[in-house]
Structure 1
Amino acid sequence: MKNFRKLLFPFAVLYGIITNIRNYFYKIGVFKRSSFSTPAIVVGNLSVGGTGKTPMVEYIIRLLKEQYYLATLSRGYKRKSEGFILADANTTMAEIGDEPFQYHYKFDNVSVAVDAKRVNGIQNILKLKPQTQVIILDDAYQHLAVKSDFNILLTTYDQPYYNDNLLPVGNLRESRKGAKRAQIVVVTKCPEKLSEQEQKNIVQKLNLTPNQKAFFTYIEFSKLAYSKSGKIDVEDLREEDFILVAGIAKPTTFFDHLKKENTICLPFPDHHHFSSADIQLILQSAKRGKIVTTEKDYVRLVDLLPPEKLYYLPIQTSFVNCKKEFDQIILDYVGKSTANS
């Protein structure tokens, strides 16, 4: 597969030229950029999928939601609808997509909207929810039509952008120099005990500007798995029969955290819409045991599988170190921006 992708190098060069021209046209004003008095925090990446955007968005929501009226705006990838939608009590997962529905499901008093056109989405949020003080733009790093003063760029420990290549040879959506637009670079999915020396080595390779700051995070799994009717301690769960189901970009960490020697692991494509055949496969594989999945998959499976069998394991972003510094940078930016607006 790697050798085949290397054959596509001329297409990667062409893709790089096109994206560089596009970004330059935004920079010099050929393409219009829209500014808003309401502060917007962009969470995104240079690569396609699997960098931990959802837990980072949730981290920022938890940090700010007690002090500010928040809204999230996503594309709503693979949703069965078009245009702008502001979630309400009757909104379904199919209408807005799994990740936005997860925000809507988990957080009260946070407005959740979807729109592929981010400028239009922000305009509608501010029209329908004028009390909004901060908008978190999920997966919007390449959406330069919105002029944001605060960009958080995520890159994974095992495949940082400095070791990657442009599509279709690698997984980068744009060239590495796009990282310069970020105020914060977060290296995600690190080992929990990442040494300070290795952090310094990575920072050197990131080639940050003097105005950028790097942070390191890891995935923290909940000690409890949840179902529609209850919860179970993960250690107790490990004593039972269960299978693992995941339709996320990089499920290996999830599988490795829970699986036993003979555990059946069923991977599906990212944002997968489960068919009746998929459901039959899952039920046959589980037999009489439990079905454990990710939180993102749970919102797609909850109405398709027996509720007493289906459990999900939440995750959250945790910092290797410097958590207070990260929090303060966000709080200072939002505090100053909301005061100015």
Structure 2
Amino acid sequence: MATAKDVAARAGTSTAVVSYVFNNGPRGVAPETRERVLRAAAELSYRPNALARALSFGRTLSVGLIVPDIANRFFGELARALEEVAAERGNILLIGDSSQRVEREHEHIAAFVERRVDSVVVVSVSDDPDLSAFADAGIPVVALHPLSESVNASSISIDYRAAAASATRHLLEHGYRSIALFNGPTESAGSRQHRDGFMDAVRDLAPGAAVEEHSTQIARAHAAQVALDMLARPSRPRAVYCATDEQAYGVLFACHRLGLRVPDDVAVTGFDGTEHSAYSYPPLTTVRQPIPEMAERAIALLAAGEERVRETVDFTLAVRESCGRHGTDVAS
């Protein structure tokens, strides 16, 4: 592999001049000299060390992303959107999958600090994550879910509580008076807001409704197992609000396996609004998060180096056949 020294020897210059050419300074280079250096570099297939160049300016041109489960369609769509925005700014996206484990999340945090990433976007497995290592290292962080005031990081998020209330209210407006909440693990990010929004709607529209809550892993397989037991009961709920699309797909599978019709026997809503939600059977009513807009704003906020902020973005309730009659999207 050719080095800067090899290029300098072929171009008849010093290695410092080669550096000036590829780093656009700090000193000027005569046009004819620059041309000789570039021609020599092309002949030798020389590529400057991008990391070394970035570090010389105090940056690594990398953005870290930590998610609970990259196999979850929502996080895959989020990663794609963030990668596109980061690439437009000349950055590379590094992904850490915490596999829904707090200890793995801490390992990724330590690894990103060690690798000196410029900034981090995080979707934590915890409702109250410890992101202090990033603050200690001077690495800006944006979480894409609600954070408590005690966490020293910025956040960009929809109003989970209002969104949960909107989806639950939609189910109750169909007249369903027995309804189940499929929430994430009790300590997971957003679980409190899902529960609070769900109960807000029940108290407002159907205070006498029969309600029940189930905590499942954020995975369709585990949600399906829980739903199979719940829906096999004679006293099964008439409707199910799910905190993620993945859980909703598990409930749809359980209904199919038990011979229950959706929505005639059981109505179902999801949350996240992934592309797949429009192509389940039946198409899934779900809260849609504005993934491209959130990705754009997160990268811009990190690049600007602003102080800690808490920003709320709009959500949309995409109304489809899984909860009853087909309708139109309802914005927040």
Band the TM-score falls in, shorter-chain normalisation: 0.3 to 0.5
Structure with higher RCO (Cα < 8 A, 6+ apart): 1
Which one has the bigger helix percentage?
Answer: 2
Larger radius of gyration: 2
